[in-house]
Amino acid sequence: MADNKSESTATEEARRSRPVVWLVAGLGTAGVLLNINQVFNLRFFVDYQTLDTSYYYALIGLFLTVVFLTCPAHRRFAGMGPRWFDWCLAIATVAVLGYCSWNGRLVAQEGWNIVPPKEAVVVAALCCLLSLEAVRRTGGGILFFICLLFGSFPLYAEHLPGFLWGPSSTLEELVAAHVFDTESLIGTPVRVVAGTLVGFLLFGCALVATGGGGFFMDLSTALMGRNRGGAAKVAILSSGFFGSLSGSVISNIVTTGQITIPTMKRIGYPATYAGAIEACASTGGTLMPPVMGAVAFIMAEYLNITYAEVALAALVPALLFYIALILQVDNYAARMALGGQGEEEIPSLKEALKSGWHFLMALALLVYLLVATGLEARAPFYATLALIVMNTVLRGTAGLLAQAIETLRGTIQAVANLIGLLCGIGLIVGALSFTGVGGAFSRELLALADGNTALLLIFGAITSFFLGMGMTVSACYIFLAVVLGPALINAGLDPVASHLFILYWGMLSYITPPVALAAVTASSISGASALRTGVLSMRLGLINFILPFVFVLTPTLILHGDWLSIAHDVGTAVLAIWLMAVAFEGWLYGRGAIGVPSRVLALAAAAGLLVPGTYSDLVGLGLLAGAYLIPTLRGRSLSLNGSGPGR
């Protein structure tokens, strides 16, 4: 009787939620079509095409409404569908942003950011409140508090000391500037989503919905599954593939970790090690081209360069990180005598490629269009269309409708979450711009460093790291791109390397206690201690703490410079990374397990090779030779003393 009652309740809830699902699908689809209209200049809606501000307000209105209908106000309302207050917020969003969009031309022509009509002030105030509630639902309480604190900064800026001082605004002036100025709500972050990112999110969701995630898992298993410690290498490759397309650390862990973590445990990796590997590999996926999440596109906008330039610069550091992970798990597997996966678990490489080559072709087309044509906004739509056509030709129309629905559902939710985050973050950027405090912070930081580049980088790393604890990657990067980026660039550092430095250090909080969100998520699957997983994640991902300092001081690692220097510096970096793996895991190729003296020499050799300069390279190579010689000398000594293995 109880089972029948719960089944009846579930059926009733599903029936009641159906109109909401259709409404959300309609709103999201309208938003995606609006984006396609804008990107391809289709002129279905002439005013939206000719006036960007109206388009931005319309897009925000559609997806913020989705946020209020799909993201619960509190955890206790999860799974219960929209409550009455959610409907009130959704209706208010449509009305407020609809008003802004309808009057987009007047906003631009009459300067509403400075002298708004009285009703526009009320609308702007409501819009700010809706943006803050959206960022609370999508980014959490900490990010909400940060957005509220910095978004209201101009109200009390004149009462603050030193470089924090700025001209104050009244509440009416502030809300009008936030909503109608092009530096805040509809500033760079939202403009990037509206202009470029929707297509990439669509492509990533289409790739997953059509079976791309399974293909990359099969491909990784076919390539690495037979090797020693193969399950860990499969986890690294598959998480790298998936993360580079999804751009989300947590969803990467939840998606791939459900398979990779139990497999690693089964072949002998401890639960803590399995969770830490998945946490690091998923975190690195957000740094790996071709997609890299929202941050790469925002970075390109701030630096006024193409996305292809950002992706190319990010390629070598991301590859170095994954090489470091693979070398560490290989050395660990060698020391612990861990084998590969069972033959019955490993698909044929030929069969894997035969069933999924079109996924690689779609990726190749996307990269070609980005690099060769510069069609950044249109490229992912062309690649998505090609993927769908190839998948339909090869696999037939069975399941096509379900794939299309899943693609659209994933895209709508991804865009809505991103818009919800960036509207709140836009308030921070706008407030710093209105008061000029962002520039003052950069000047103060330069003065504090007093021309010492190393000190400036340390300050920047600490700031990025601690802000990364309370913010998403996008939020942390956008905030620091405004206040810290100019300081690094004005110190004479490479602009792209400076912004990548900020991004890398903002990401590190995902694998570093006390927050370590990636490690916590992975530990919930592995069953290990979250703290121990976080500590081990930090050790496995240590190269990510070092790489930003290396490439910001040696831009050859981001492929800036002559090819001879690039080849030399990348080669020494790879050698250094291998030596770090040797030191951490205690295994040296050709020598087997090594003791503390050899491990110390290997770590010192890695440091020597990472420091720019011929002399330091020679020192590093000499220390490497010492690491190899110590076991031989120790063996001879034991033999002479009569305690060798032959006795």
- Give me the DSSP letters along 52-88: HHHHHHHHHHHHHHHHHHHS-SSGGGTTS---HHHHH
Comparing C-alpha atoms, which of 464, 463, 546, 481 is closest to residue 188?
481
Query: What is residue 587's three-state secondary structure?
Result: strand
Residues 449 and 509 in one domain: yes
Residue 405 lies in a domain: no
> Domain limits at 603?
564-637
Comparing C-alpha atoms, which of 384, 363, 151 is closest to residue 240?
363
AA identity, residue 595: G
Residues 292 and 441 in one domain: yes
How large is the angle between the packed helices 453-470 and 141-151, nearest 10 degrees? 120
Residues 82 and 103 in one domain: yes
Can you tell me the distance from the alpha carbon of 457 to that of 545, in angstroms, rounded to the nearest whole number?
12
Can you tell me the distance from the alpha carbon of 368 to that of 357, in angstroms, rounded to the nearest whole number?
16
Residues 148 and 215 in one domain: no
Residues 29 and 126 in one domain: yes
What is the mean pLDDT for each group of 10 consecutive residues in the chain (647 residues)? 48 62 93 92 60 88 96 83 92 96 88 90 96 92 88 89 83 94 89 88 88 86 88 89 76 85 90 93 85 79 87 91 92 88 84 89 88 84 93 84 90 92 89 82 78 85 76 78 86 92 86 83 90 91 89 91 91 93 89 87 91 82 86 55 46
Counting the structural domains of the chain, the total is 3
Instruction: Tell me the sheet residues that pair with 593.
Output: 587
pLDDT at 122: 96
8 Å CB contact between 300 and 310:
yes
Query: How many other C-beta atoms are found inside a 10 Å radius of the C-beta of residue 474?
Result: 24
Residue 511 lies in a domain: yes
pLDDT at 50: 44
pLDDT at 52: 81
pLDDT at 324: 92
Residue 4 lies in a domain: no
Sequence-distant (6+) residues with CB within 8 A of 57 are 97, 100, 101, 104, 186
Residues 248 and 165 in one domain: no
Residues 554 and 454 in one domain: yes
Residues 172 and 199 in one domain: no
Final residue of a structural domain among 558, 575, 593: 558
Query: What is residue 245's three-state secondary structure?
Result: helix
8 Å CB contact between 470 and 507:
no
Can you tell me the distance from the alpha carbon of 511 to that of 513, in angstroms, rounded to the nearest whole number?
7
pTM of the model: 0.84
Can you tell me the distance from the alpha carbon of 345 to that of 371, in angstroms, rounded to the nearest whole number?
37
Residues 308 and 214 in one domain: yes
Residue 167 lies in a domain: yes
Residue 428 lies in a domain: no
Residue 299 lies in a domain: yes
CA angle centred on 79, ends 78 and 80, rounded to 5°: 95
Query: What is residue 376's three-state secondary structure?
Result: coil
Final residue of a structural domain among 140, 163, 181: 181
Residues 90 and 114 in one domain: yes
Residue 341 lies in a domain: yes
CA distances from 552 to 1, 244, 483 (A): 67, 22, 18
Final residue of a structural domain among 181, 202, 226: 181
Residue 333 lies in a domain: yes
How large is the angle between the packed helices 230-246 and 249-267, nearest 10 degrees? 170
Residues 341 and 471 in one domain: yes
Residues 285 and 335 in one domain: yes
